[in-house]
Amino acid sequence: KTKPQVDEHSKDRQLESFRENPQDQYMTTDQGVRINHTDDSLKAGSRGPLVMEDFHFREKMTHFDHESIPERVVHARGSGAHGYFQPYNDSMKEYTKAKFLTDPSSKTPVFVRFSTVVGSRGSADTVRDVRGFATKFYTEEGNYDLVGNNIPVFFIQDANKFADLVHSIKPDPDNEIPQASAAHDTFWDFASLMPEINHMIMWVLSDRAIPRSFRMMDGFGVHTFRFINEAGKSRFVKFHWRPMLGAHSLVWDEAQKLAGKDPDWLRRDLWDAIEMGDYPEFELSVQIVEEEDEFKFDFDLLDATKIIPEELVPRKPIGKMVLNRNPDNFFAETEQVAFHPGNLVPGIDVTNDPLLQGRLFSYIDTQINRFSSANFGEVPINRPVTTVHNHQGAGFMRQTINKGKANYWPNSIGGGCPMMAPENQGAFVHHMERVEGHKIRARSESFNDHYSQATLFWNSMTATEKKHIIKAAHFELGKVESEEIRRRMVGHFSKVSKELAQKVAEGIGVDVPENFNQESTGHYEANEASQKMKKGQS
Ligand code: HEM
């Protein structure tokens, strides 16, 4: 019943038992039988056909034939690193009971995977895209995953639009040509019809979407989460990672040249820095909002297309993460790591953000596809450093050998069966939020302002940064064949900033449409149900 002592090296000690050290060993088959010759297959005569009984050839070939697993449906290209996280002090005790965030003497092992989103596993690192910043904390209370991005807002507000978003931005379905010609049309077509995307579009056209290095990139939890303290009090929280080296970007010309000359630019930079002992460091901080202040903002805290401006809620620093070891094996660690925003530990919980709620379903679902099994949690990189006991003892590639007859609960016949943990023994108890309402397929009216924060972002840019955004829009929208789509996008820009719309329009051969309104995109038909609700007609 005792929890393990987690220190900086606990995950590494666990991984050590899975590592293979073949120096000074004879080569063997998977059955451990020593091999004397692996350059030729067994033949009927030196110029004759291969014979079926060659178990060594069959095993070697079969293994190779099955070496790949489906790449991630998004964030396929990534780079991983090991390290640790340590809080500066116990100041978070007031807000959360999550021990790894409140005990300054603890160093919690972490594995981080940075990624691009759209490209396939072999795509270039320096493309204009969002970057993933996913962290697995191997805490003494189980795994906690902070599955974030380097941009603090998202394209859409509801998870039901995710498949549409990704389809629009991935290579075309007929010829799989990425971003060649029509792909620009598909994404911008979608974007121009989804006003909620506008804040994110400003970030994506900015230099944030072409980071100079994974070591020089912010990270954000994006959604509003909850902190729960020892007394059970809940508060809203937004997570931020800040690189100690500061956030830096490439310029577009560099990004394009690097995509040709060194498509592994970000991957190599991270690897080399760690090899040289120049360890990337990131500070974790949080914005905290009291529950009673939930409705005091002019945006909805549950809307993932909004930030909480730091002028309204300053960040509180928690501690520092240091990435100090490269993986031993890309496939075993970086490819097989499986993050999930629903991997929570006591003290951290989710909110009703409809994007986050949908993610809670999607990650395990896709990972079962990726690993062809629900047992991917047993893969070394995914194992918690805490022990795992339950009755989930079967399925493809099961590693653990559960003992006894009782693989059900409750049982009275024993046999290595678990007990239930009370809350004061570290059990995760979901925050008791009161929920009621009509069952309704609709968007809250409080999610309807799609331009104010886009304008806020634009106004916060320096003259050079504004120039980069306009040039990026010229590059991207200049490739869109449809004049209607280009004009619609300029229409949205006109609601962000007249100057922005005018300058973009000049570069892509359209006029700024007069009196553009978002309703003309047709998106709001979907909100018919919520209008009804408002009028009490449900
Ligand atoms: C990866 C779904 C929004 C960050 C993934 C994967 C899926 C997915 C299916 C592949 C996972 C795997 O194969 O292991 C979704 C859905 C979303 C959504 C349905 C919205 C409804 C977001 C948001 C963020 C985010 C808002 C950032 C806050 C990431 C990251 C990865 C990822 C960082 C890569 C994890 C890794 O390195 O393995 N997402 N995602 N996603 N997602 Fe999302």
pLDDT values of the chain reduced to their tens digit, one per residue, 538 residues: 667 789 999 999 999 999 988 788 999 999 999 999 999 999 999 999 999 999 999 999 999 999 999 999 999 999 999 999 999 999 999 999 999 999 999 999 999 999 999 999 999 999 999 999 999 999 999 999 999 999 999 999 999 999 999 999 999 888 888 765 555 799 999 999 999 999 999 999 999 999 999 999 999 999 999 999 999 999 999 999 999 999 999 999 999 999 999 999 999 999 999 999 999 999 999 999 999 999 999 999 999 999 999 999 999 999 999 999 999 999 999 999 999 999 999 999 999 999 999 999 999 999 999 999 999 999 999 999 999 999 998 999 999 998 888 888 888 887 666 789 999 999 999 999 999 999 999 999 999 999 999 999 999 999 999 999 999 999 999 999 999 999 999 999 999 999 999 999 999 999 999 989 877 675 544 455 556 655 554 4
Rg (C-alpha) for the chain, rounded Å, is 26
359 annotated to bind ligand? yes
370 annotated to bind ligand? yes
Pairing mode of beta strands 219-220, 316-325: unpaired
72 annotated to bind ligand? yes
ipTM: 0.96
Q: 73, 75, 376: which to mutate for ligand 1, most atoms within 8 A of CB? A: 75
The protein residue with its alpha carbon nearest to ligand 1, atom 19, reads 359
Q: How far does CA 107 lie from the centroid of its chain? A: 23
pTM of the model: 0.95
Q: How far apart are CA 388 and CA 452, in angstroms?
A: 47
Q: How far apart are CA 45 and CA 65, in angstroms?
A: 26
**Pair of tokens at residue 72:** 């991630």
> Is residue 149 annotated as a catalytic residue, yes or no?
yes
Q: How far apart are CA 79 and CA 123, in angstroms?
A: 13
What pLDDT score does 371 carry?
97
What pLDDT score does 162 carry?
98
**Gap from CA of 363 to ligand 1 centroid (Å):** 7
The protein residue with its alpha carbon nearest to ligand 1, atom 28, reads 148
Q: Is the minimum distance from the CB of 263 to ligand 1 under 6 angstroms?
A: no
- Cα atoms in the Cβ-side hemisphere of radius 13 Å centred on 532: 12
Residue 192 neighbours by CB under 8 Å, 6+ apart: 485, 488, 489, 491, 492, 521
Contact between 126 and 250 (Cβ < 8 Å): yes
**Gap from CA of 482 to ligand 1 centroid (Å):** 30
Question: H or E element: which one contains 185?
Answer: helix 182-192
The protein residue with its alpha carbon nearest to ligand 1, atom 37, reads 113
The protein residue with its alpha carbon nearest to ligand 1, atom 3, reads 359
DSSP assignment letter at 349? E
CA distances from 480 to 118, 176, 510, 518 (A): 18, 17, 12, 20
Question: 143, 149, 150, 198: which one is catalytic?
Answer: 149
The protein residue with its alpha carbon nearest to ligand 1, atom 18, reads 359
What pLDDT score does 515 carry?
86
Helix, strand, or coil here: 292?
helix
Which atom of ligand 1 is the closest one to the Cα of 370?
13
Q: How far apart are CA 109 and CA 3, in angstroms?
A: 15
Q: How far apart are CA 220 and CA 412, in angstroms?
A: 47
Which atom of ligand 1 is the closest one to the Cα of 78?
37
What pLDDT score does 526 carry?
46
Q: Is the minimum distance from the CB of 74 to ligand 1 under 6 angstroms?
A: yes
**Pair of tokens at residue 31:** 């059955």
What pLDDT score does 142 carry?
98
Q: Is the minimum distance from the CB of 356 to ligand 1 under 6 angstroms?
A: no
**Pair of tokens at residue 317:** 């620093």
CA distances from 484 to 171, 188, 246, 477, 507 (A): 21, 11, 40, 11, 15
Q: How far apart are CA 397 and CA 393, in angstroms?
A: 11
